[in-house]
């Protein structure tokens, strides 16, 4: 008999304690329409070659776009971009409305004001449970000197470089 996994709530409680940054994952559909969704299941994979991964729920519209996409981009959000994170996670007919977007190489949409723009060529996909791991070869990008948006226990926060003791000791 195979071993049982923990229930979903415990899984969320555990993994929710892993503080992350927040990105907007963007790609273009075959007809050229831009797609974007908020994603924090993002990790650096390899330095040589330079690979990054993002895990996407198979039930999401963006998943189908990525299945046939040759490229995608990650815009790492800045501390003042919580509204952008919320927008790209909600059901909306036009998530890009009112959002400042730049056109990157190969027409990839990039969110203006981000901490980093990471451009990728699709390298591999791995099925994993109810998600697919999309692995991208990082082909280009730009880093900016801005404080990042942080995500922890389903809430947004700020990362203070250099740390220091928490306010409540
Ligand atoms: C902070 C945050 C991080 C998220 N990270 C992911 C993620 O890594 N993978 C994922 O599939 N969904 C993630 N989501 C949920 C998607 O953004 C959300 O389901 C979105 O509506 C999917 O869009 P789509 O259905 O148009 O593809 C995240 C949501 C938030 C608020």
Which domains does the chain show, CATH number per domain? Answer: 8-148 (2.30.110.10)
Confidence of residue 67 (pLDDT cuts 50, 70, 90): very high
Residue 2 has what pLDDT?
Answer: 84
Report the predicted TM-score, pTM, of the whole model to 2 decimal places: 0.94
Q: Is 22 in the pocket of ligand 1 (CB under 6 A)?
A: yes
Q: Which of 27, 35, 37 to mutate to test the pocket of ligand 1 (most atoms within 8 A of CB)?
A: 37
What is the rounded distance in angstroms from the CA atom of residue 32 to the CA atom of residue 26? 12
Mean pLDDT of the chain: 94
User: Rounded to 10 degrees, what is the CA torsion of 65, 75, 46, 70?
Assistant: 30
pLDDT tens figures, 93-139: 899 999 999 999 999 999 999 999 999 999 999 999 999 999 999 99
Residue 139 contacts residue 119 (beta carbons within 8 Å)? yes
What is the rounded distance in angstroms from the CA atom of residue 38 to the CA atom of residue 91? 12
Closest CA to 157 of 34, 40, 33: 40
CA–centroid distance, residue 116 to ligand 1 (Å)? 19
What is the rounded distance in angstroms from the CA atom of residue 121 to the CA atom of residue 51? 10
Phi, psi (rounded to 5 degrees) for 149: -85, 135
Residue 152 has what pLDDT?
Answer: 97
What is the rounded distance in angstroms from the CA atom of residue 166 to the CA atom of residue 94? 39
CA–centroid distance, residue 147 to ligand 1 (Å)? 22
The closest residue, in CA terms, to atom 10 on ligand 1 is 56
Residue 169 has what pLDDT?
Answer: 41
Residue 122, SS3 per DSSP? strand
pLDDT above 80 for 167: no
Closest CA to 74 of 135, 150, 153: 135
Atom of ligand 1 nearest to the CA of 88: 17
């Amino acid at each position: 008999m195979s071993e049982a996994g923990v229930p979903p709530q415990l899984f969320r409680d555990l993994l929710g304690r892993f503080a992350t940054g927040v990105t907007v994952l963007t790609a273009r559909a075959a007809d050229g329409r831009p797609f974007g969704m908020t994603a924090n299941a993002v990790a650096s994979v390899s330095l040589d070659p330079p690979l990054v991964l993002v895990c996407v729920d198979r039930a999401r519209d963006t998943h189908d776009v990525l299945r046939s996409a040759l490229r995608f981009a990650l815009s790492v959000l800045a501390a003042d971009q919580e509204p952008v994170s919320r927008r790209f996670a909600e059901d909306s007919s036009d998530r890009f409305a009112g959002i400042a977007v730049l056109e990157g190489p190969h027409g990839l949409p990039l969110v203006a004001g981000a901490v980093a723009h990471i451009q990728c060529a699709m390298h591999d996909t791995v099925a994993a449970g109810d998600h697919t791991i999309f692995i991208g070869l990082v082909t280009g990008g730009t880093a900016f000197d801005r404080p990042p948006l942080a995500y922890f226990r389903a809430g947004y926060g700020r990362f203070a470089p250099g740390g220091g003791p928490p306010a409540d000791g």
